């Protein structure tokens, strides 16, 4: 059976962007693959985190995976830092990654431009290699991610091919899976910018937002001075973003949504979107409450860790042998 690996980092509360771009696709793909879904806490510490908050969010995200429909009986859910081979392989792969390659990573360039390089950790710079290790450790065939992670899956492929050429077949070279619609959900207040959990404000819908807050955020989403509803991300980024969200949430195509609202005004469309969104998110919130503090959640994460550890240990031993590390 082919395998999937993907993860979400507990650097903030889960957003609608994380749900649409990644987690909702995990739930669709889980029936056809051996799936490992990880809470990538080591990625979160590339920027400073509050210790207690981080601990809390690790379990929040695991519980949200399940609440969103990931079936723990079919998949393996685990916490990255509980499987030490991730960091071990990351170091080995760092020694096979060129500085020039990391310099081309647009996500780092964006952050460096915004924050300046002085306060940035070297972990933030090398994190694509840790992500490559996460994926290659499990011989994942497919990596479902949002658009912003495409470049990191590409560098993972390059590292795997380079390693295989140098040491012989070691890693499966993975493909990315990026949804056609919803791969980049935009901020509701600044619709030319990605909706992001670390910039949580009025422009960002959180999966655990109260329904009244969700409605307020949708109703105050930035649009444009026209009155007609049609899809044109360049000219109408705000409305086009809302159309994409509506399409995903209702399982319709963009054209169907545009047809449905062609005679409506922006206010009517936003109200319909808020209703549909709340209808989708409320049951997730209910399930989250049931599972978050249950013993079952810890049992699921223990079983996930054991399965991941078994695969990862086998792979890291193979890699060490190939590279010539250790005595055996
Ligand atoms: N706005 C988005 N639209 C579609 N997909 C998105 N993803 C994130 N934001 C959007 C996808 O969600 C998965 C998990 O993301 P992550 O936790 O690895 O971090 P990220 O990509 O850096 O997302 P954030 O929310 O913007 O985190 P911060 O603010 O901490 O940097 C990935 O598959 C991602 O593509």
Q: Is the pLDDT of residue 114 over 90?
A: no
Q: Ligand 1 center to residue 150 CA distance, Å?
A: 11
Ligand 1 and 270: CB distance under 6 A: no
Q: Ligand 1 centre from 18 Cα, in Å?
A: 5
Q: Which atom of ligand 1 is nearest to the CA of 198?
A: 29
Tokens of residue 109, six digits: 């360039």
142-153 confidence digits (pLDDT tens) = 999 999 999 999
**Does ligand 1 come within 6 angstroms of the Cβ of 184?**
yes
How confident is the model at residue 295, as a pLDDT? 97
Using a 6 Å cutoff on CB, does residue 190 contact ligand 1?
no
Contact 174, 135 (CB under 8 A): yes
201-289: same fold as 3-177+294-323? no
Q: How many residues does the chain have?
A: 328
Other Cβ atoms closer than 10 A to 256: 13
Among 20, 40, 148, the mutation site with the greatest number of ligand 1 atoms within 8 A of its Cβ is: 148
Mean pLDDT of 133-146: 97
Mean pLDDT score, 304-311:
98
Residue nearest to atom 35 of ligand 1 (CA): 146
User: Measured from the CB, is residue 46 less than 6 Å from ligand 1?
Assistant: no
> What's the pLDDT score for residue 194?
94
Residue 199 predicted with pLDDT over 90: no
What's residue 160's pLDDT?
Answer: 98
pTM, two decimal places: 0.95
On the question of pLDDT at 200 being above 80, the answer is no
Pairing of strands 76-79, 142-144: unpaired
- Ligand 1 atom closest to Cα of 44? 30
CA of 307 from ligand 1 middle (Å) equals 26
pLDDT in tens, 23-35: 999 999 999 999 9
CA distances to 94, 109, 219, 282, 323 from 90, in Å: 6, 21, 44, 39, 14
The architecture (CATH level 2) of 201-289 comes to: Orthogonal Bundle (1.10)
> Can you tell me which residue has the tokens 């409305």?
239
Q: Which CATH class is domain 3-177+294-323?
A: alpha beta
- Residue spans of the domains in the chain: they are 3-177+294-323, 201-289
């Amino acid at each position: 059976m082919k395998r999937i690996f993907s993860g979400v980092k507990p650097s903030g509360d889960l957003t609608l962007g994380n749900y649409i771009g990644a987690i909702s696709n995990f739930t669709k793909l889980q029936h056809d693959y051996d799936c490992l879904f990880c809470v990538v806490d080591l990625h979160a510490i590339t920027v400073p985190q509050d210790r207690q908050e981080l601990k809390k969010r690790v379990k929040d995200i695991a519980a949200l995976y399940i609440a969103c429909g990931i079936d723990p009986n079919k998949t393996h859910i685990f916490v990255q830092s509980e499987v030490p081979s991730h960091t071990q392989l990351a170091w080995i792969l760092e020694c096979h990654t060129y500085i020039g390659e990391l310099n081309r990573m647009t996500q780092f360039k964006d952050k460096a431009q915004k924050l300046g390089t002085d306060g940035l950790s070297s972990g933030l710079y090398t994190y694509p290699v840790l992500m490559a290790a996460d994926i290659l450790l499990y011989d994942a065939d497919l990596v479902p991610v949002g658009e912003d992670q495409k470049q990191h899956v590409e560098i993972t492929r390059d590292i795997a091919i380079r390693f295989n050429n140098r040491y012989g077949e070691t890693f499966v070279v993975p493909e990315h899976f990026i949804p056609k619609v919803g791969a980049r959900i935009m901020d509701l207040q600044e619709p030319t910018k990605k909706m992001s959990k670390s910039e949580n404000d009025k422009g960002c819908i959180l999966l655990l937002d109260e329904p009244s807050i969700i409605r307020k955020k949708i109703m105050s989403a930035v649009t444009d001075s026209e009155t007609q509803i049609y899809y044109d991300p360049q000219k109408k980024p705000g409305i086009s973003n809302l159309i994409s969200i509506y399409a995903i949430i209702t399982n319709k195509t963009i054209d169907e949504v545009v047809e449905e609202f062609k005679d409506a005004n922006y206010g009517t469309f936003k109200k319909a979107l808020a209703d549909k969104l709340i209808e989708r998110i409320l049951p997730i919130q209910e399930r989250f409450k049931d599972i978050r503090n249950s013993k079952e959640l810890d049992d699921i994460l223990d079983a996930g860790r054991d399965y991941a550890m078994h695969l990862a240990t086998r792979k890291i031993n193979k890699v060490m042998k190939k590279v010539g590390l250790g005595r055996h």
